[in-house]
Amino acid sequence: MNAIQPSIPEAQPIKRPLRTVPRPKRHLRQRSYQIMALETTVKIGVNFAISAAAVSALTQLLPHHWSGQEKLRQIRTEVKTTQERVSTLRTEFNNTFDSRQANSVMQQHGNRIPRNYKRIVLTNNTTPGEIQESTP
């Protein structure tokens, strides 16, 4: 019994190659095209929704923009007229407080006349009746 016995291999399951069911390639391609078409359609729909929201926002914002521009134009014209008024007042102020022109300013704003000047008063010797007759 101690003799060498031929080795019997253990019973190993016989490996059979797995049979894969061949899928028709045409079906897979058609399925992938349908998925791509659906994805593209969804993308286009989302883009249309975003575009519609943007157009709606623009239609609401444009009147506000136009009214703001009109107000800005009005303010600019007011600023321009105010600047013109300020410049005339500034020149009057400079003329009034200029020491070189003090005598002429006093003559303009008061009754002070230099001694070498003579006052001339113009009178109209016509009567009111003559004025009515001469008007056409």
Q: Hey, is 98 helix, strand or coil?
A: coil
In a domain, 23, yes or no: no
- List the domain range (segments joined by +) for residue 53: 28-114
Spatial neighbors of 113 by CB under 8 A, at least 6 apart, are: 107, 119
Q: In sequence order, what DSSP letters do the residues of 114-133 get, joined into one string? A: -TT-----------HHHHHH
Question: Six-digit token pair at 33?
Answer: 């095209």
Tens-digit pLDDT string for the chain (136 aa): 566 666 665 666 666 666 666 655 666 677 788 899 999 999 999 999 999 999 999 999 999 999 999 999 999 999 999 999 999 999 888 877 777 777 777 777 777 677 777 777 778 776 656 555 554 4
In a domain, 66, yes or no: yes
> In the prediction, which pLDDT does 127 show?
64
In a domain, 103, yes or no: yes
In a domain, 19, yes or no: no
In a domain, 54, yes or no: yes
> In the prediction, which pLDDT does 107 show?
72
In a domain, 9, yes or no: no
Question: Six-digit token pair at 106?
Answer: 């006093």
Please state, as a whole number, how many other Cβ atoms lie within 10 Å of the Cβ of residue 106. 13
| Alpha helices (H) in the chain, listed in sequence order | 25-96, 102-109, 128-134
Amino acid (1-letter code) at residue 83 = Q
> In the prediction, which pLDDT does 108 show?
73
Please tell me the distance from the alpha carbon of residue 24 to that of residue 83, in angstroms, as a whole number. 86
With tokens 């022109």, the residue in question is 101
In a domain, 77, yes or no: yes
> In the prediction, which pLDDT does 121 show?
76
In the chain, the number of structural domains is 1
Regarding pTM above 0.95, the answer is no
> In the prediction, which pLDDT does 68 show?
95
